[in-house]
Every structure is written in structure tokens, then in C-alpha cells.
């Protein structure tokens, strides 16, 4: 599954698509060209052989004579290949009598070979090329039918010129071997050149990706390099977006800070009144703590932005250390397993809020053991927090995330912790789900952020 996911991610890249399309073009065009050249060469060689056999037939027929309905042929022919036994070039003259072929004459080269019984017999004046197997070897056969007229009598015969195709097959095979060797070399060169060219062409994209990574890690604030015309507008728009986002968050922090400060003084005046009930003082104290909390959030946010990756492990260690002190009497065992590469693309205060609320709730619910696991892939960051407590029933899993609804009987807290977590997760387009831990039996909280 991991390999399939990796391949899918690779195919989604522009470089992979261009490379695959270029390779497909090479793999289609070059072999097609090889097939066309091979067929053209084979047809040319075969055409040359056919012309040779055609010329040989005229030379043999020029020497043939008919006397008293008998075929007269010289003992030797001008072409010495017809005179040498087993030379690979043979000639036969046959006559069709009562649907049977009778051999009237054969060249000296045909001595010791057996004539096939199914020679083609074209019409008078016509010729035909065919392939015959003679003594387990393929031969190209040229058949030509002629008619001699003597004393108003016709004498019809068919001349068959046969040539062994071994040389032809060997020649074509050698040509194919040479052709595919060179084309294979050309394909390899084209692939290398294509790879180098694509690397050069897509280099600006790789440079842009590297610069965006530096911005994500907080090493840069904006895109600084110069890019080709097609990417120049994109880089400009990204810089505009980064500046606008930075200013918007700054305005948000200032507004939150101003609001908290404006509420702090009236609350202090109200708390100084002597005729307030205990319940009213508790609510005012709660409001004051909430304002203090928002002030700290406004101050701690600073210049941190959504694109900066925050290491999760150090924050988790601080939270776990604090929980051990707060819940010292329970002697909790908190197992932490965090991917070293895991980073949270958001504000540090939000990460503290998310992990702090979930770990605090798990510490309240757990009997002894809490597990915190953080994994990161190329496409997703996942948090899982589980405990060995009583868990959360299915009926309460949806309601528990609503603001003010509590599924516990703890004296601490105000019923808004999980709702805050839900709101923060939603603001980062993440998903929060509640289930049952298969290992510990208690509650299992899972948060997934797409990257």
C-alpha cells in the first residue's frame, strides 16, 4: 500500500507526467520506425530476388526448343549456378497432363532434390510467385507458363525458377540485428537527452519548491528569486498573499488584544464591588481568566504564520512534563511516540491549545496509561491520543464536541475544552473523530491534517 501511495504521489507531479509522456513517445515512435524500415528492407530484397528470377526465366526459355512435341534443352546453361549441384538456384520445366504434373527437364543444380507436387500453374503468358518447401528449406518460386506452336500444334509448359531463401532470411536477420542495435542505442541517447532537457526545463519549478519550503520552515518571509515569465506572476501573487496574510493576522492579534484590555478594567471595577454574591465573584473570576488567556494568545502569536512548520516533539514534551506534575497522585504513564519529521503548519499557541486540552482530558479520564502518537506522511499529519479510562459512549461522541457539553464528572474545566479543539481543528481544515481505543479500551481521539 505504501508503494502504491508513493507511485500515485509521484504520478501527480508535473515532472513525472512530462517524463512518462516523453518516454511513451520514444517507445512508440522509434519501434514503429524500426518496423517500417525492416518491412521496407525485406520488400526491397524480395523484389530484387523476384527480378533476378524473372530475368533468369527469359534466359532459359531463350534456349528451349520443341521438336516433334519434345522439349530440347542444352546440357549446360549460361548461369553457372544452374549447373552446380546444390547451388541454391534451380530450374524445372513441367507439363500438365490429365491434371498431373510431369517434369520434362530440370537443371543440373536440382540433382538429388525432390520436386514438390503442388507447383502453381499460371495461365499461358502469366507468371506467379510462391513459396515452396524443398527438402526442409524454404524456396521462393517463380512460375511462368508459355506455349510453343509447331506445325499448328501447341506445346504448353511451365518454367519454375527456385531460389533458396536461406541467404535472404540470414540477410534480413542481420539487418534486423543491426537495426535494433542502433535504434536501441538511439533510444537510450534520446532518453538521457530528454531527462537532461526536462531537468533543465523544470529547474525553475524545483527552485520555487525549494524556496517555498524555506518559507514554510520560517527561514524566509517571501519569494526572492527571479523566475521565467510563466512563473513570475505566480511568485508575485504568492508574495502578495503572504504579505496580506501576515497583515491580517497582525490586525487580528491587535484587535483581540485591544478587546481583552478594554474588558479588563470594567471587570476589575465589578470585582471590587462589595455586595456581590459568591457565585457572581466566581463568574467574574472565570471571565478574568478567559481574558488573560486570550491576552497571552495574542502576545504569543507574534509573527508566526500558517506556513511555518513547528516541531511537535518539544511542545509535547513540555505538556507531558506539566501533566506529570499536575496529576502526580495518579502516577500516570504517558507513552509518547512522535515522528521526528512531524511539524505542525500553524501557530504554536494553537498547537498548545489542541494538545493541551486533549492530553488534559485524557489525564482526567485515564486510570494509569495514556498513549500519544504523532505520524506524518507526505499528504497527512495525524495525532492519536488514547487512554485506559471508561471511554466515551457512541451517544455522546457527537455531543461532546459541542461547546458547553460535558461527558465527564470532573470538577475542573468549564466544558469548552473539546469545543475549542474542534474549532481550532476546523480552522486548519482538519478532521477530529472520537472512538474506542483497541489497545487500552478507553477513549481514542484522532486528529488528521491534510498537507
Q: Where are the beta strands (DSSP E) in 21-69?
A: 65-66
Distance CA 94, CA 144 (A): 10
Q: Is residue 77 a contact partner of residue 60, using CB atoms and an 8 Å limit?
A: yes
Q: How many domains does the chain have?
A: 2
pLDDT tens, position by position, for the chain (451 residues)? 555 655 565 566 777 777 788 888 888 888 888 889 888 988 888 888 888 888 888 888 888 888 878 888 888 888 888 888 888 888 888 888 877 888 888 888 888 888 887 788 888 888 888 888 888 888 888 999 988 887 778 888 888 998 888 888 888 889 889 988 998 888 888 888 888 888 888 788 778 878 877 776 666 777 877 877 777 777 888 778 777 777 776 776 677 677 767 777 777 777 777 677 777 777 777 677 666 666 665 555 544 444 557 889 999 999 999 889 888 888 899 999 998 888 888 778 788 889 988 999 899 889 999 999 999 987 889 999 999 988 888 777 777 666 545 444 443 443 457 777 888 888 888 899 888 999 898 999 999 998 7
The verdict on residue 299 lying in a domain is no
Contact residues for 222 (Cβ-Cβ < 8 A; gap 6+):
215, 239, 242, 243
DSSP state of 445: E
Domain co-membership, 197 together with 317:
no
Length of the chain: 451
The CATH number linked to 353 is 3.30.565.10
Consecutive H or E run containing 92: strand 89-97
CA angle 280, 283, 289 (to 5 degrees): 140
**Residue after which a domain boundary falls, among 170, 201, 232:** 201
**Strand residues in 177-262 grouped as ranges (E):** none
Enclosing domain of residue 65 = 13-201
134-169 burial, b at 16+ Cβ within 10 Å, e below that, comes to beeeebbbbbbbbebeeeeeebebbbbbbbbbeebe
Contact indicator for 216, 309 with CB cutoff of 8 Å: yes
For residue 143, what are the contacts with CB-CB under 8 A and spacing of at least 6? 119, 120, 121, 122, 127, 128, 129, 130, 158, 159, 160
Specify if 191 maps to a domain.
Answer: yes
Task: From 160, 185, 201, give the residue that closes a domain.
Answer: 201
Q: Is the same domain home to 189 and 336? A: no
Close Cβ partners of 55 (under 8 Å, ≥ 6 residues apart): none
With respect to residue 367, please indicate whether it lies within any of the assigned structural domains: yes
Residues 56 and 188 placed together within one structural domain of the fold: yes
Angstrom distances, CA of residue 440 to CA of 69, 294, 371, 391, 435: 111, 35, 9, 10, 12
Q: How many helices (H) and strands (E) does the chain have?
A: 10, 14
Q: Helices 203-216 and 229-271: crossing angle, nearest 10°?
A: 10
**Rounded-to-integer distance, Cα 368 and Cα 388, Å:** 7
Amino acid at each position: 500500500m505504501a508503494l502504491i501511495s508513493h507511485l500515485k504521489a509521484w504520478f501527480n507531479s508535473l515532472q513525472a507526467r512530462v517524463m512518462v509522456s516523453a518516454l511513451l513517445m520514444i517507445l512508440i515512435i522509434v519501434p514503429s520506425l524500426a518496423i517500417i524500415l525492416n518491412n521496407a528492407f525485406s520488400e526491397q530484397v524480395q523484389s530484387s530476388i523476384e527480378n533476378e528470377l524473372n530475368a533468369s526465366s527469359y534466359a532459359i526459355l531463350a534456349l528451349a526448343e520443341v521438336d516433334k512435341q519434345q522439349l530440347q534443352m542444352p546440357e549446360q546453361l549460361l548461369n553457372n549456378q544452374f549447373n552446380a549441384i546444390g547451388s541454391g538456384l534451380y530450374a524445372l520445366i513441367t507439363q500438365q497432363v490429365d491434371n498431373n504434373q510431369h517434369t520434362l527437364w530440370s537443371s543440373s543444380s536440382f540433382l538429388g532434390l525432390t520436386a514438390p507436387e503442388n507447383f502453381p500453374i499460371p495461365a499461358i503468358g502469366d507468371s506467379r510467385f510462391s513459396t515452396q518447401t524443398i527438402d526442409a528449406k524454404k524456396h521462393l518460386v517463380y512460375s511462368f507458363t508459355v506455349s510453343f506452336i509447331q506445325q499448328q500444334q501447341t506445346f504448353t509448359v511451365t518454367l519454375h525458377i527456385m531460389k533458396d531463401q536461406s541467404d535472404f532470411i540470414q540477410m534480413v536477420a542481420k539487418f534486423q540485428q543491426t537495426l535494433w542495435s542502433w535504434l536501441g542505442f538511439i533510444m537510450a541517447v534520446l532518453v538521457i537527452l530528454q531527462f537532461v532537457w526536462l531537468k533543465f526545463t523544470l529547474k525553475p519549478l524545483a527552485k520555487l519548491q525549494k524556496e517555498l519550503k524555506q518559507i514554510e520552515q520560517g527561514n524566509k518571509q517571501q519569494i526572492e528569486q527571479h523566475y521565467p515569465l510563466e512563473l513570475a506572476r505566480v511568485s508575485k501573487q504568492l508574495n502578495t498573499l503572504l504579505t496580506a496574510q501576515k497583515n491580517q493576522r497582525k490586525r487580528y492579534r491587535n484587535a483581540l488584544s485591544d478587546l481583552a484590555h478594554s474588558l479588563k478594567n470594567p471587570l476589575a471595577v465589578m470585582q471590587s464591588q462589595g455586595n456581590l454574591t459568591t457565585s457572581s465573584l466566581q463568574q467574574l473570576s472565570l471571565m478574568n481568566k478567559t481574558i488573560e488567556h486570550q491576552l497571552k494568545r495574542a502576545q504569543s502569536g507574534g509573527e508566526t504564520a500558517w506556513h511555518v512548520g513547528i516541531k511537535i516533539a518539544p511542545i509535547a514534551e513540555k505538556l507531558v512534563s506539566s501533566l506529570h506534575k499536575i496529576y502526580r497522585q495518579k502516577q500516570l504513564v504517558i507513552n509518547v511516540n512522535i515522528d521526528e519529521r512531524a511539524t505542525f503548519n500553524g501557530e504554536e499557541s494553537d498547537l498548545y491549545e489542541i494538545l493541551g486540552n486533549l492530553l488534559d482530558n485524557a489525564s482526567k479520564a485515564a486510570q494509569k496509561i495514556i498513549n500519544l502518537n504523532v505520524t506524518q506522511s507526505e499528504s497527512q499529519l495525524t495525532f492519536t491520543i488514547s487512554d485506559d479510562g471508561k471511554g466515551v459512549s457512541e451517544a455522546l461522541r457527537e455531543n461532546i464536541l459541542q461547546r458547553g457539553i460535558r461527558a465527564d464528572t470532573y470538577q475542573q474545566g468549564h466544558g469548552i475544552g473539546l469545543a475549542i479543539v474542534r474549532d481550532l481543528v476546523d480552522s486548519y481544515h482538519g478532521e477530529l473523530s472520537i472512538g474506542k481505543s483497541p489497545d487500552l479500551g478507553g477513549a481514542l481521539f484522532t486528529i488528521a491534517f491534510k498537507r
